[in-house]
Structure 1
Amino acid sequence: MGLLAAIAAVPAVAQPLPGDFVFLREVDPSIQQDIRYAGANNFMGRRIEGYDGAECIVKRAVGLALREVQRGLRAQNLSLKMLDCYRPARASRDMVAWAQDGRETAAERRYNPGFSKQELFRLGYIAERSGHSTGAAVDLTLVDLAAPRGPAFDPGKAYADCTAPAALRAPEASVDMGTGYDCSDAKAHTASRAISPQQRRWRETLNAAMSRQGFVNYAKEWWHFSRPGMSGLSAYDFPVPRHRGD
């Protein structure tokens, strides 16, 4: 075998992650992942800057805590589904620029039906700096493992806005929390009373499972949790890579 052929035959090895970050799939492969900013199924309608791979990356301590959450949920035939984890700082800058670009499509408006996207920054739904960039914050939901998976997201379909009944809004293959993910609306506030008793129970189930392992929910977003005491960590801006096994 020639030298070039020998080099080509050696599998590529990904560079180690910095700052005690880990791939969540290596900590607990049973936790489902749908990293929404790595594709088109999100409020910007495209891949967001810095998401080279659709991978959940977190600080090691966060990953170990999520593994314990998952273990507790298995007895209820439930699973976590990660929607966003570590977020490069460049992604937050991309979001801010998008919110201020003066354009808004109908598909984008599904995520903020009550006001224009220019208001997202002022109202605190988009920030120049995000706790996600420290690796200590996550967005996630629950999957009922006994339920049918449901239809896949169709980027060409005109779905109802994120506050509509689950059958009308974009499918997410998860339990019905009362709104879709990244819904900038009061109905997405964790303690909202504008949802059904069953939807409220799902939110309470998620909140209780996460709080038992030290996570704290952000009151405006039922899906957002972080670890207290880690807020002083440095923000990072390395791109989310593809996993070495891909």
Structure 2
Amino acid sequence: MKAILTAFVAIAAASSAHAQSLPGGFVYLRDIDPSIIQDIRYATSNNFVGRPLRGYGAGECVVKREVGMRLKAVQQELSGQNLSLKMFDCYRPARASLDMVAWSQNGRETAAERRYNPKISKTELFRLGYIASRSQHSTGAALDLTLVDLKADNSAKYDSSKAYADCTAPVEARAPEGSVDMGTGYDCTDVKGHTAAPSIAPGQRAWRKRLVAAMSRQGFVNYSKEWWHFSLPGAGGAAYDFPIQPRKR
């Protein structure tokens, strides 16, 4: 979920943190399971804002250790089915949520931004709860992710020069994500993005159910309005604002 209004934020600023220096309890997911695919979209221009968000100094998934260990268990189950998790967002610095709010109120709206919000004006995203100044992601216990079929051709890459169809369009027309067809693209603020949306195809619904089931077996809970968003109850706590730095290899 882009943000959750009920999260409690106690910002622990660490703007000058050294690379790979994380607060206690946080880990780089690559150190837990390097086989999990990562495409941290807010560290790139391939997202609804169209640029890297504040605090994303590296495209790395950072999570609470318990969350990472449970993701590893999910990945182990999926690997026997020639599937993999693909992470879109993990820990999110609190400043990034504020960056989203500022973006929604900047008075401009481009065609590229409309791809993610085909039926909703960006000025309405805050009122409708799609964007808020406080996010559960900032606790390290919330995740945005999808599934990848490792037997499929996932070579298509996002091209910023192309005019893709909006996030509700058929998979062939919308921006490629190198994953299974979940019925909409990631971060799609539309009713088709609701996990149990009746308007998607049976095959797309089956993929969503498969993802929810695999995550549920490790205690993760899906947010009903976003098929990609999961959280681990009890693993959160205070929210943080330390920047995501490159992981030492």
The match for 1:234 is 238
Equivalent residue runs for 1:92-171 within 5 Å? 92-171=97-176
| Aligned partner of residue 122 in structure 1, secondary structure | coil
| Aligned partner of residue 160 in structure 2, secondary structure | coil
Equivalent residue runs for 1:71-110 within 5 Å? 71-110=76-115
| Aligned partner of residue 118 in structure 1, secondary structure | helix
Native 8 Å contact 2:66 2:235 kept in 1: no
CA deviations on 1:43-67 (whole Å, 9 max, x unpaired) are 0110111100000000000000000
CA deviations on 1:164-206 (whole Å, 9 max, x unpaired) are 0000000000000000000000000000011000000000000
Q: Which protein is bigger by CA-based radius of gyration? A: 1
The match for 2:8 is none
Question: Size of the alignment, in residue pairs?
Answer: 232
d(CA) in 2 for partners of 1:120 and 1:69? 32
d(CA) in 1 for partners of 2:24 and 2:108? 37
Which of 43, 47, 51 pairs up with 2:48? Answer: 43
The match for 2:213 is 208
d(CA) in 1 for partners of 2:120 and 2:109? 11
Q: What amino acid maps onto 1:135 in structure 2?
A: G
Native 8 Å contact 1:162 1:180 kept in 2: yes
Equivalent residue runs for 1:179-218 within 5 Å? 179-218=184-223
**Residue segments in structure 2 that go unaligned for 5+ positions in a row:** 1-17
CA deviations on 1:77-97 (whole Å, 9 max, x unpaired) are 100000000000000000000
d(CA) in 1 for partners of 2:186 and 2:208? 13
The match for 2:3 is none
d(CA) in 2 for partners of 1:41 and 1:87? 16
d(CA) in 2 for partners of 1:52 and 1:100? 24
Deviation at 1:15, TM superposition (A): 4.5
d(CA) in 2 for partners of 1:206 and 1:195? 16
d(CA) in 1 for partners of 2:154 and 2:81? 17
Does residue 175 (structure 1) correspond to residue 180 (structure 2)? The answer is yes
Runs of 4+ with deviation above 2 angstroms = 13-16
| Aligned partner of residue 79 in structure 1, secondary structure | strand
d(CA) in 2 for partners of 1:238 and 1:229? 21
CA deviations on 1:196-233 (whole Å, 9 max, x unpaired) are 000000000000000000000000100000011234x0
d(CA) in 2 for partners of 1:238 and 1:177? 32
Native 8 Å contact 1:190 1:219 kept in 2: yes
Native 8 Å contact 2:67 2:235 kept in 1: no
Does residue 68 (structure 1) correspond to residue 73 (structure 2)? The answer is yes
Deviation at 1:75, TM superposition (A): 1.3
Native 8 Å contact 1:31 1:70 kept in 2: yes
TM-score scaled by length of structure 1: 0.93
Native 8 Å contact 1:151 1:173 kept in 2: yes
Native 8 Å contact 1:150 1:171 kept in 2: no
Native 8 Å contact 2:165 2:173 kept in 1: yes
| Aligned partner of residue 201 in structure 1, secondary structure | helix
Q: Which moved more, 1:148-157 or 1:61-70?
A: 148-157
**Residue segments in structure 1 that go unaligned for 5+ positions in a row:** 1-12
| Aligned partner of residue 121 in structure 1, secondary structure | coil
CA deviations on 1:111-163 (whole Å, 9 max, x unpaired) are 00001001111111111100000000000000000001131100111000000
| Aligned partner of residue 222 in structure 2, secondary structure | strand
The match for 2:13 is none
TM-score scaled by length of structure 2: 0.92
Native 8 Å contact 1:43 1:111 kept in 2: yes
Does residue 22 (structure 1) correspond to residue 27 (structure 2)? The answer is yes
Identity of aligned residues (%): 69
